[in-house]
Amino acid sequence: MSRLDRVNEKIIEIDKLDNLAQRLRVKGKRIVFTNGVFDILHRGHVTLLNLASEQGDFLIVGVNSDTSVKSLNKGPERPINGERDRATLIAALQCVDAVVIFSDGTPYELVKRIKPDVLLKGGDYDPDQDDPKQKNYIVGSDIQRANGKSTVSIPLVEGYSTTAIIKKSKNG
């Protein structure tokens, strides 16, 4: 099997998540889940994902579909890269074990299906925030609390954001 085949094999369909998570739990593996758009992959993303992988044994990353990105109002030109391209870049990272593309506006259903041991987001989110109306609320943290599982926030790498990269490329 080629390296590219192994990368593509990491991208799984949503309907395979239940079985994957169950097999991992039977083996006693600690599952970590995070999600994002990952439109223009940068150092901040790579740092977050590497630190996320250190929180457990198996890192699953949810990547917003193109339709989902449009619903997030990130701008008319977003996403820059298509969902399959973004998923492939994330899957190519050694620290990532599986990638799933999701179409919902939030990863709530994925968190319900995966039941991760650790739900993780970047530092602009607050694991203690319990009001879903707040911008810093971590979607699925209510599920984590109800199941006695962890919700973690990792500090952002200052100066790195896709929005800033796009702005810089437009302004020179």
The domain ranges of the chain are: 3-171
pTM of the predicted model as reported, rounded to 2 decimal places: 0.93
Stretch (H or E) spanning 167: helix 162-171
Please give the CATH topology (third level) of the domain spanning 3-171: Rossmann fold (3.40.50)
| pLDDT tens digit sequence for 83-117 | 999 999 999 999 999 999 999 999 999 999 999 99
DSSP class of 47: H
| pLDDT tens digit sequence for 19-53 | 999 999 999 999 999 999 999 899 999 999 999 99
Between 53 and 162, the higher pLDDT residue: 53
pLDDT band at 73 (very low <50, low <70, confident <90, very high): confident
pLDDT for position 33: 99
Residue 158 has pLDDT above 80, yes or no: no
Buried b (16+ CB within 10 A) or exposed e, 37-61: bbbbbbebbebbbebbbebbebbbb
Mean pLDDT of all residues belonging to the chain:
93
pLDDT for position 166: 63
Residue 65 to residue 160: CA distance in whole angstroms: 22
Measured in whole angstroms, the distance separating CA 104 from the mean position of its chain's CA atoms is 13
Q: What is the mean pLDDT of residues 10-15?
A: 97
